[in-house]
């Protein structure tokens, strides 16, 4: 029921992501942020209304989530009523070359979004064979928190993208360099802050998802969080670097980082380390994989700044 309902809103999810990028790049970052905030809080409120007062069950939860991008689109359309917008609809011929270039520039972002799905599937299958349902539940806790952490770095990357694109297009190499420096420092700051919170509050976070008080689940989740989230010291910079390279037309480098993060390095690391160290190896695999990708990222960034 949930999947069928959500898929009915798939066009709205796609259009919302496109409009968010257009409005943000067209000097409308505040409106983009407003649309995101209003739609997100609407989702939370409508979840409660549909599931409890209206007793719509799982369909209500899915319907509330599906309405979220619709609300966001309604807000974003206000941008196109103004007189100062640069982007607008017009008749044009379909240019295959231009379409291909657009798709190539966005491919690294596509791979980045797929990375979470690939890692989620791989981790679940391997953990199921090692620790069963309790292990999968522990990873579920970590995956939920990791989604929030990844969103922080993704937001930093999206904020960097239009600024870096403009500087690069205008030939302001120093401006691109400064922006990349700010972005990397911001990523490091967030990585330290997130890891500090995880180390201090890991037991409390685990208990939120462990209403039955299962001791084994708590132990696995706490150990996993403290190991797994160390990988964000590397992952945060890689996510930001991917956006920077894409925004400055270094498509191949951005794509290489995204592919390595999603499967080329991560999947072999999970299989190898899980065999050697069981559950500890599973948590370590994310750190090791992101560390190896980080080395590649540093090489690309050094070459980028020298050019």
Q: Which pLDDT does position 114 carry in this prediction?
A: 76
The token duo for 213 is: 């008080």
Q: Among all chains, which residue has been given the structure tokens 């899915």? A: 62
Residue 84: what pLDDT? 64
The label of the residue with tokens 């359309």 reads 77
C-alpha distances (whole Å) from 207 to each of 42, 210, 280 are: 27, 5, 20
Backbone angles phi, psi at 83, to 5 degrees: -100, -10
Q: What is the pLDDT of residues 243-292, one digit of tens each?
A: 899 888 888 888 889 888 877 898 899 999 999 999 999 999 999 999 99
Q: How far apart are CA 304 and CA 98, in angstroms?
A: 25
pLDDT at position 83, please?
A: 66
| Whether 22 contacts 165, CB under 8 Å | no
Query: What per-residue confidence (pLDDT) applies to 65?
Result: 95
pLDDT of residue 92: 84
Q: Could you tell me if 139 and 209 are in contact, meaning their C-beta atoms sit under 8 angstroms apart?
A: no
Q: Where are the domains of the chain?
A: 1-82, 107-307
Please tell me the predicted confidence (pLDDT) of residue 24.
86
Angle between helices 96-169 and 266-306 (to 10 degrees): 60
pLDDT, tens digit, 9 for 90 and up, residues 55-89: 999 999 999 999 999 999 999 999 888 666 777 77
Q: What is the pLDDT of residues 104-157, one digit of tens each?
A: 878 777 876 776 778 788 899 999 999 999 999 999 999 999 989 999 998 899
- pLDDT tens digit sequence for 158-217: 888 888 988 988 888 888 889 988 999 999 999 999 999 999 999 999 999 998 889 999
Distance CA 155, CA 89 (A): 27
pLDDT in tens, 297-306: 999 988 887 7
- What is the per-residue burial (b if ≥16 Cβ within 10 Å, else e) of 274-294? beeeebebbbbbbbbbbbbbb
**Cβ atoms within 10 Å of 252's Cβ, excluding its own:** 12
Alpha-carbon span 56 to 180, nearest angstrom: 47
211-253: per-residue pLDDT in tens?
888 999 999 999 999 999 999 999 999 999 998 998 888 888 8
């Amino acid at each position: 029921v949930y999947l069928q309902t959500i898929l009915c809103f798939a066009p709205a999810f796609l259009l919302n992501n496109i409009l968010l990028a257009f409005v943000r790049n067209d000097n409308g970052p505040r409106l983009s942020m407003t649309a995101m905030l209003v739609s997100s809080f609407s989702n939370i409120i409508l979840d409660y209304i549909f599931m409890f007062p209206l007793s719509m069950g799982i369909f209500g939860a899915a319907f509330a989530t599906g309405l979220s991008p619709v609300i966001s689109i309604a807000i974003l359309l206000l941008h196109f009523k103004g007189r100062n917008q640069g982007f607008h609809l017009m008749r044009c011929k379909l240019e295959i070359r231009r379409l291909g270039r657009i798709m190539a520039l966005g491919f690294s972002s596509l791979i980045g979004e797929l990375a979470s799905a690939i890692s989620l599937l791989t981790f679940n299958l391997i953990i199921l064979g090692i620790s069963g349902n309790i292990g999968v539940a522990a990873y579920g806790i970590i995956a939920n928190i990791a989604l929030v952490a990844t969103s922080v770095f993704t937001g930093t990357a999206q904020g960097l993208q239009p600024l870096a694109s403009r500087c690069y297009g205008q030939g302001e190499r120093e401006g691109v360099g400064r922006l990349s420096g700010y972005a990397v420092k911001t990523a490091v700051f967030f990585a330290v802050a997130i890891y500090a919170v995880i180390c201090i509050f890991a037991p409390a976070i685990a208990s939120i998802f462990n209403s039955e008080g299962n001791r084994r689940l708590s132990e696995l989740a706490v150990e996993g969080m403290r190991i797994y989230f160390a990988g964000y010291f590397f992952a945060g910079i890689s996510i930001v670097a991917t956006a920077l390279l894409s925004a400055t037309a270094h498509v191949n480098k951005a794509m290489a980082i995204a592919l390595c993060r999603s499967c080329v390095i991560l999947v072999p690391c999970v299989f190898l380390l899980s065999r050697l160290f069981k559950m500890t190896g599973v948590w370590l695999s994310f750190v090791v994989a992101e560390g190896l990708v980080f080395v590649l990222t540093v090489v690309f960034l050094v070459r980028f700044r020298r050019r």
